[in-house]
Each structure stands twice: as C-alpha cells, then as structure tokens.
Amino acid sequence: MPVRCIVYDALEYMKQVKEIIRRNKQDKRQKTSEEFLSGMYRTDMLVPVITFVFYHGNEPYDGCTDLHGMLDLSGIRDQYRNLIPNYKMNLITLEDIDEMQMKTGLREVIGALKRSKDKEAFLHYVQENQNRFQQLDEETCHTIGVVLKQDNLQEIQSATRRYY
C-alpha cells in the first residue's frame, strides 16, 4: 500500500504539472531559459496532495505503513539507509474513528463496519440508532450492503427497519 500511495500522489502531481505547463504555453510572458525548458515559471506552485488509506478490516492492521518497511535493507550500511527516501502512508483504521461525531450517513456505515463480525452488536447498534436508520437514504443503505458484503439492497434495508 505505501507504494500505491506513492504512485497515486506522483500521478496527481504530474497531472498538476501538465496543467500548469499547458496553461503556461498559452501565456506570452517573458520566460527565462529554465522556465522555457521546464514549461513552468519560478512562481508556479503545486497544490499539496494528501492520501489517506482507510483500513476497514475487523482484524488489526498488520501491513507496512511506510516504504522502508517493505524494503530489504539488511545488506545496506546505516549511512546509506538515510539516503533511501522513505514514504509514510497515512493510515486510518476503524478504531481511529468515532462515528458518533459524524453527522452524515457515514456514521451508520462506519458503525456497521465496526460491528460487522458481531450480529448482536450490529442489531443493538441499529436499535440504539433507530431514528437515524429509519431516515437513511438509498445510497447509504446500498453502501452498508456493499461493505457488509450483502448482495441484495432490499435485505439490508429490511434488516435495518425490521427492528423498529
């Protein structure tokens, strides 16, 4: 996953660079030789990119959270390890989220995910939040169905409404 994050971020930065270069080609301002060659003015800036990885498994996350955790650095001297760039992944797990602070249907999606392995806990959560579950839109019900791996949307909707 850290490598995927690097790629996603790099692709977004490249998209921004290409757009700046495209826009600058149409600009008739005087350019330095460096600006002409790069296609970018010294004042051009990129918008920062932040990628989050949302792990929604019920088991604790045990994967690498940075690039160095994926590399075999056993034969490399410490003085050279510092030269190898590391890339930290921004990981969010279900335990990191307090769904009760959310105001949208994401609250019920996260709540359902947290309780997906315990049917009684899930049903109790639905009963505790029956007013919110009664008002869920179709898209949120569908999302809950997908994350709980239920093929039939109607089953999820009826399961959540059955206990009112």
Residue 29 and residue 69 in one domain:
yes
Q: Which of 93, 115, 135 is the last residue of a domain?
A: 93
| 122 and 65 both lie in a single domain | no
Whether residue 102 is found in the same domain as residue 80 = no
Pair 54, 35 in one domain: yes
Q: What is the DSSP string of 92-121?
A: EEGGG--GGG--STHHHHHHHHHTTT-HHH
CA 149 vs CA 12, 46, 145, 154, 156: distances in Å: 31, 39, 6, 13, 10
Q: Same structural domain for residues 36 and 9?
A: yes
- Asked if 42 and 67 sit in the same domain, the reply is yes
Give the number of domains in the chain: 2
Q: For the whole prediction, is pTM greater than 0.85?
A: no
Beta strands in the chain (DSSP E): 52-55, 90-93
Residues 85 and 49 in one domain: yes
- The pLDDT confidence band at residue 41, using thresholds 50, 70 and 90, is very high
Query: Rounded mean pLDDT of 2-20?
Result: 97
In the chain, pLDDT over 70 holds for what percent of residues?
91
- Domain of 118 in residue numbering reads as 98-161
- Does one domain contain both 145 and 78? no
Question: How do residues 145-162 score in pLDDT, each as one tens digit?
Answer: 887 777 654 555 565 555
66, 93, 120 - which closes a domain: 93
Of 49, 74, 93, the residue at which a domain comes to its end is: 93
Same domain, 21 and 70: yes
36 and 83 in a single domain? The answer is yes
Q: Are residues 29 and 104 in the same domain?
A: no
Judgement on whether residues 156 and 75 belong to the same structural domain of the protein: no
